[in-house]
Structure 1
């Protein structure tokens, strides 16, 4: 078995990193299914057995990558962090290319849109199901987002 690896965003150790396209697709399907369960039924409903059955993979196949329920939660959180941070990177680029009359409004609007559209993110954060690893990753994520705001302000010359 390979060493646990960390997904982008730093939150979720994977037991192994899928190497083949088929395995990566299987892991993506598992995480998409987990997100659907999270949105529909809440964080309490996320069990490895339920996720595996709904994703039409064996529990053993799920365990190859995600060793337990917490790893599923951490992997979902890592995906949300990555999306938020990619958005921030895009805003930094946009701030360098154009002048914003209301930088705070631009940032608030951009992230409010994500929070409105990412139902899984809201379900996870308001469902009281965060793991200690996810809480630690969230603290790191917040530091990266604060740095993103700093980069936006610098790009705008403020």
Structure 2
């Protein structure tokens, strides 16, 4: 099984790990365990993500895993940090070149996130699961970073004041976040009618803004 190196994501999940693995062998075990946890999450849901099940799936001992990821909360927090990083990188990638204001930012952003939601079917469950863990601040901090990135993106397209308050970006992000989650609540491919309404809502809202 191919294992991804999660060095950046492990650092981002501040406080979630009992200790951060430094040796390559230990990192490989933790990365393998996180891949196994993601597989269990996609296949069986959050309830399946327990230390014994993850250790068994990853073919590591519970004791070895406990040194770094002592419980379900820690595992979910690291997986969530990874998922959050993908969202943030996606917005960064959609930023236009300086001075370029053409294109369709609403369609580009909604389309990119629809593709991500479809590819990451298992981790969609992390949104609700993280609220009940010991690390709810991870989700809130991520959302604040996303609002700041949306503000920058809108300003780059001339759709909001770059030096003004972020209430437009906050409205766009939280409306899109809620409707996107709802669109994928019961369908791995997303409810097309609800996704179309999301685009219509964002376009109408931004078109109605002064200037």
Q: Deviations over 1:87-119 (max 9, x none)?
A: 112122x45474433211111111111111111
CA deviation after TM superposition for structure 1 residue 57, in Å: 0.4
- Specify the SS of the correspondent of 1:14: coil
Closer, same or farther in 2 for the Cα pair 1:103/1:61, shift >3 Å?
A: same
Cα distance in 1, alignment partners of residues 102 and 136 from structure 2: 33
Where in structure 2 are the equivalents of 1:18-97 lying within 5 Å? 18-92=21-95, 94-96=96-98
Q: Deviations over 1:124-158 (max 9, x none)?
A: 33xx4323444321111111111111111222343
Structural RMSD (CA): 2.1
Match of 2:109 among 75, 84, 107: 107
Identify the residue that residue 139 of structure 1 maps to in structure 2.
Answer: 140
Note the residue ranges of structure 1 that are not aligned, 5 or more in a row: 1-5
Match of 1:117 among 116, 119, 124: 119
TM-score (norm 1): 0.84
Stretch of structure 1 that moved more, 137-146 or 33-42 = 137-146
Residue 30 of structure 1 contacts residue 51 of structure 1 at CA under 8 Å; is this kept in 2? Answer: yes
Residue 73 of structure 2 contacts residue 133 of structure 2 at CA under 8 Å; is this kept in 1? Answer: no
1:129 corresponds to 2:129: yes
Cα distance in 2, alignment partners of residues 30 and 68 from structure 1: 12
Residue 18 of structure 2 contacts residue 69 of structure 2 at CA under 8 Å; is this kept in 1? Answer: yes
Note the residue ranges of structure 2 that are not aligned, 5 or more in a row: 1-8, 160-211
TM-score (norm 2): 0.64
Q: Deviations over 1:49-100 (max 9, x none)?
A: 01001100000111111111111111111110011111112122x4547443
Larger relative contact order, structure 1 or 2 (CA cutoff 8 Å, min sep 6): 1
Between Structure 1 and Structure 2, the one with more helix by share is: 1
| Number of aligned residues | 150
Cα distance in 2, alignment partners of residues 133 and 151 from structure 1: 31
